[in-house]
Structure 1
């Protein structure tokens, strides 16, 4: 069984929101809280998802909602790093473009 890691919130503007470990339905509430806090801060969103080991559709939906909310607020969203697991899951769900992952290779 893969170990679960919690996401770490951005501590200051320009610091990426680190996504790591297993992001699944069990981690969804925690992930939602951190994504909401990042949106509320109003700073451009930067994600570092290099350490994502596994991600399910619930976490992808949360990331999608966050990216859409940020876009509607005029906030930019960038990815500093993306794991193979995230790219594969996004591809399987047809969400690579929606998440802004086009051009990112693990």
Structure 2
């Protein structure tokens, strides 16, 4: 499986990323290298390998849960530039493209 420059450009547009032609050519090679590497990994026989949730199988000592009452909305409201009716208002960051 490989990805074309046009497919990569479409993905970049969906992700709202800027890219130019020179960047896309090197990125296509890099992405295709990653895809090839993943294909190699998929061919490995891992039936004898135990599942691992984290590379370091350490047990973390946790404190007991304690229920506390914390209502810091008023404090956070003071920090927010725009806060209205319990909601934080933020500028629009995604263009619908229409």
User: Could you state the TM-score of these two structures normalised by the residue count of structure 2?
Assistant: 0.20
| Bigger relative contact order (CA 8 A; separation at least 6) | 1
Is the strand fraction higher in 1 or 2?
1
Larger Rg: 2
Give the TM-score taking structure 1 as reference length.
Answer: 0.19
